[in-house]
Structure 1
């Protein structure tokens, strides 16, 4: 993982780079919305919250540091990060912390449910945008694909194993799991697949199938 993987079809970069940046910022915003819902976080954010509480850091800082540490795990897997990979590490935590600074804690259950639902849908859209830009996976997704390539195990099995591990570790550290965790797990796959259909930038010379 000595060099950055650069895009080969540069003709569409005028769309792909802005789409990547918007997707990553919206992903961080969605994380902040789900955090303020206080109804349970997605598995990685349960872990981030638990670590943040133990270290006295903002959760956004922990998101950034965790992304950087996971990226180091790419070294033995010989994964090459893309522009989107580096952007993922640098932007998600900042966007999440800024969202939390602007959005105070909420107490009304109806508002918290709306924040959770909006956060999950926005997360699906953001996933479609940044993955659809085809400029490199996030550190956590790249870790799963790298393990898949090296071990031959199914992506579903690896994803489940990793997310259960970080979820249990996060709970042990004091992170918040709940109905939101379950809702996210059930909804994010179909939502990301739906938005990817409309957000994926076609490779040069190929038209996207409807």
Structure 2
């Protein structure tokens, strides 16, 4: 069972990196965190993937006062999503024309929803950004308010730094929750009490 969970985790992280790369390459608007990562990349010359890794590590430092405990999935997420995002940004052909760019965007969101179900469903630890949200919510704050506050903050900061905001940003915001709601139950690995 652990082999299945690990395989699902790493497939999910690879696909998540692919989803990020597709959305960034579409140039139609990134999700909030990747707007921030792209803005930081444009200001510093470091790659988007490098900033995904750096931001993930910094967010994990915020877990300490929240007493959140990372799992192997958390640590793998911090490192591998950025690596895969850079790899796929390098491999993907540049989409020319609005139809192909729109196809990249739709594929990005579908892949991202499926990947979210994969890596969370593996049950090996939340991603650093998800753990921050749940840690703050566990302190008595509304999950909706915490999630919205974090997402709006990073989106505005990323936009100010030059990250791409557009129709893809809105489409992602409206669809990622429902997609995760569909894929997470399908991909959650049931664990025996001894494996939990």
Give the TM-score normalised by the residue count of structure 1.
0.90
Root mean square deviation of aligned Cα: 0.8
Cα deviation, residue 166, structure 1: 0.2
Pairwise mapping of residues 13-162 of structure 1 onto structure 2 (< 5 A)?
13-150=2-139, 152-162=140-150
Identify which of 151, 160, 165 aligns with 2:153.
165
Larger C-alpha radius of gyration, 1 or 2? 1
Task: Tell me how many residue pairs correspond in the alignment.
Answer: 193
Secondary structure of the structure 2 residue equivalent to 1:204: coil
1:110-149 Cα offsets, whole Å, 9 max, x none, are 0000000001000000000000000000000000111111
Q: Quote the Cα distance in structure 1 between the aligned partners of 2:49 and 2:60.
A: 17
Cα deviation, residue 204, structure 1: 1.1
Cα deviation, residue 104, structure 1: 3.0
Give the TM-score normalised by the residue count of structure 2.
0.97
- Structure 2 partner of 1:194: 182
Q: Quote the Cα distance in structure 2 between the aligned partners of 1:124 and 1:97.
A: 19
Q: Quote the Cα distance in structure 2 between the aligned partners of 1:155 and 1:194.
A: 19
Q: Quote the Cα distance in structure 1 between the aligned partners of 2:10 and 2:91.
A: 20
**Uncovered stretches (5+) of structure 1, i.e. residues with no partner:** 1-11, 206-210
